[in-house]
Amino acid sequence: MNHPPANARKKRILVADDDPGMRLALAIRLRANNYEVTCAGDGMSVVEEARKHTPDLILLDLGMPGGDGFTVMNMLQEDEPEASIPVIVLSGRNRATHSSQVREAGAALFLQKPADTEQLLAAIERVLRNAPPPPAPVKKTDHLMV
């Protein structure tokens, strides 16, 4: 597995799952692989965290209180820069029944729980490689009218 150099900016991943044990397990795995991790346990918190921290990627469960994964993806699509954040859905729901629906909602990938660590890390690296760079911060400057 290729990991970023120690002096490179760590990629920030937002882990969104209503199960505290799952959030903790994912956060431990990701931090051990040199990712910065923030977590959210319900749909509205995911949207708030994404707007506050602009993660490089979101790992999103579909079944959460306060807005399921589909609601979250729809809300994120409404605003920039959140609309450009890639999403990997990590859910216990049946992949055969939900995969096309997840892709239509804007997710880059659908992984079914439980995903082993190597599969998860490979998926994250693949999606991050293909993701557009994060938008540059908007600079507010005074413009002179001539």
Does residue 9 carry a pLDDT above 70? yes
Kindly indicate the confidence band of residue 4, based on its pLDDT and cuts at 50, 70 and 90. low
* Domains of the chain: residue spans and CATH: 12-130 (3.40.50.2300)
pLDDT tens string 17-39: 999 999 999 999 999 999 999 99
pTM for the whole structure: 0.80
pLDDT tens string 101-120: 778 778 888 888 888 889 89
Lateral strand order in the sheet of 12-16: 36-40, 12-16, 57-60, 87-91, 109-112
Region for 87 from its dihedrals, namely left if φ exceeds 0, alpha if ψ lies in -120 to 50, beta otherwise: beta
Here the tokens at position 94 are 């049946």
Here the tokens at position 11 are 């990629």
